[in-house]
């Protein structure tokens, strides 16, 4: 609305009608429920994920995301202070969905808590989820940036996740479900190295024209490598049943903490 000098007056105050519109907008913002803010954030995250897969993280801007989500650029910043934070939350959301599926599988039978089962399913999910595949296998530079952002934004969350993963191997170690000559932190290191290697190495080989196993066979090889490297004892059903509820609870706890961190951005109120 254009306000003439006669309407605005010498004081420069807005016209009463403009004041009324301003109050209506402010009132609407103040009435926005946490659910409405979360739904709006989800649209932004969905738009960012789609664009990251289609164009690559380095080629899109906040303006691109806002346009695709049907919101203003400033609205994106209400939830996510930087592009890197937005991409980080996209990654966290995809990882939490994968982790929740791992918990669901674990809950089905005790043997699903074994590292070979967890690692092979994680690989299948990572390679089969477009956004995770793009970040972990297609743009290692962005992965490094997101790792730095995660350390700056959610250092406590990263520490907690690492502690939970080490606690997982302590439980397996205590119940005799993995080799006893390695310490839990060493077992965790072996697990992470094997899974990461099977995730990152195949694309490097393909880029140089070398043949690699198809994803299903690659997952089988990874599971076999984990079974042998970690000395799993799946035949000890009593030990599996004893450790089962503790491991499921540990993984579920991790999922809940990640979801809580995501919700902090989804329902944040800067308006």
Q: Using one digit for the tens of pLDDT, what is the confidence trace for 176-225?
A: 999 999 999 999 999 999 998 998 888 788 888 888 888 899 999 999 99
pLDDT for res 66: 97
pLDDT for res 271: 58
Least confident of 11-15, 54-58, 72-76, 154-158: 11-15
For 154, 170, 250, 252, the CA distances from 257, given in Å and listed in that order, are: 11, 20, 11, 9
pLDDT band at 139 (very low <50, low <70, confident <90, very high): low
With left for phi above 0 and alpha for psi between -120 and 50, is residue 214 left, alpha or beta? beta
Tokens of 151: 């350390």
Tokens of 82: 């930087």
For 3, 5, 12, 14, 20, the CA distances from 9, given in Å and listed in that order, are: 10, 6, 6, 8, 17
236 SS3 class: coil
pLDDT for res 209: 87
Average pLDDT over residues 132-137: 80
Q: Which residue has the higher pLDDT, 3 or 239?
A: 239
Judged against a pLDDT cut of 90, whether residue 24 lies above it is answered with no
pLDDT band at 137 (very low <50, low <70, confident <90, very high): confident
pLDDT for res 199: 85
Q: CA nearest 231: which of 171, 191, 193?
A: 191
């Amino acid at each position: 609305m254009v306000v003439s000098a006669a309407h605005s007056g010498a004081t420069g105050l807005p016209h009463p009608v403009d004041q009324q519109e301003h109050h209506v907008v402010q009132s609407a913002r103040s009435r926005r429920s946490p659910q409405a803010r979360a739904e709006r954030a989800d649209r932004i995250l969905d738009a960012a994920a789609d664009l990251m897969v289609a164009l690559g993280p380095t080629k899109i801007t906040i303006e691109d995301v806002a346009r695709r989500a049907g919101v203003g650029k400033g609205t994106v910043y209400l939830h996510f202070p930087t592009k890197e934070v937005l991409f980080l939350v996209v990654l966290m959301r995809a990882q939490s969905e994968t982790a929740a599926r791992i918990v669901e599988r674990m809950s089905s039978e005790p043997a699903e808590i074994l590292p070979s089962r967890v690692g092979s399913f994680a690989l299948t999910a990572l390679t089969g989820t477009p956004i995770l595949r793009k970040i972990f296998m297609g743009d290692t530079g962005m992965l490094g940036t997101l790792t730095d952002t995660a350390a700056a934004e959610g250092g406590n969350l990263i520490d907690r996740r690492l502690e939970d993963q080490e606690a997982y191997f302590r439980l397996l170690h205590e119940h005799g479900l993995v080799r006893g000559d390695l310490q839990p932190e060493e077992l965790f290191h072996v697990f992470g190295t094997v899974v990461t290697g099977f995730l990152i190495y195949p694309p490097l080989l393909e880029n140089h024209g070398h043949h690699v196993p198809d994803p299903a066979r690659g997952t089988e090889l990874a599971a076999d490598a984990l079974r042998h490297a970690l000395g799993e004892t799946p035949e000890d059903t009593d030990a599996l049943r004893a450790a089962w509820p503790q491991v499921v609870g540990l993984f579920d706890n991790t999922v809940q903490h990640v979801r809580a961190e995501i919700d902090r951005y989804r329902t944040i109120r800067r308006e």
